[in-house]
Amino acid sequence: MDDEGLILKNVRTILEKSGYEVRTVSGGQQALVIYRQMSFDAVILDLTIPSGMGGKKSIKELIKIDPKVRVIVSSGYSNEEVMGNFREMSFCTVLPKPCLRR
């Protein structure tokens, strides 16, 4: 989940080239709808979505749906408290932005 199309495209390309099936959405509400419909090995959530539900709120809702959900937090703001204390917020790891295509 990310509100920036270029980020979604780059991460999709990287993951698909690694053999993963990928679904992308631009907001937390969409992520919740898709998660209820499908099974996922992991979810990557952008921490900040200016016009909608970001990663902090989305992870709380995902845990209600699936307490064992594996969620990766992503942000371009390395000074965000969550990025340094991701485990306390129930994220399994971090994916700092920008995500570059290699």
- Residue 19 phi/psi, 5° resolution? 95, 10
> Hey, what domains does the chain have and what are their CATH numbers?
5-96 (3.40.50.2300)
Model confidence at 25, in pLDDT bands (50, 70, 90)?
A: very high
Residue 7 scores a pLDDT above 70: yes
Amino acid at 17: K
Kindly report the pTM of this predicted structure. Answer: 0.88
pLDDT of residue 100: 52
- Residue 45 phi/psi, 5° resolution? -120, 130
- Residue 72 phi/psi, 5° resolution? -105, 130
Nearest CA to 30 out of 64, 1, 69 is that of 1
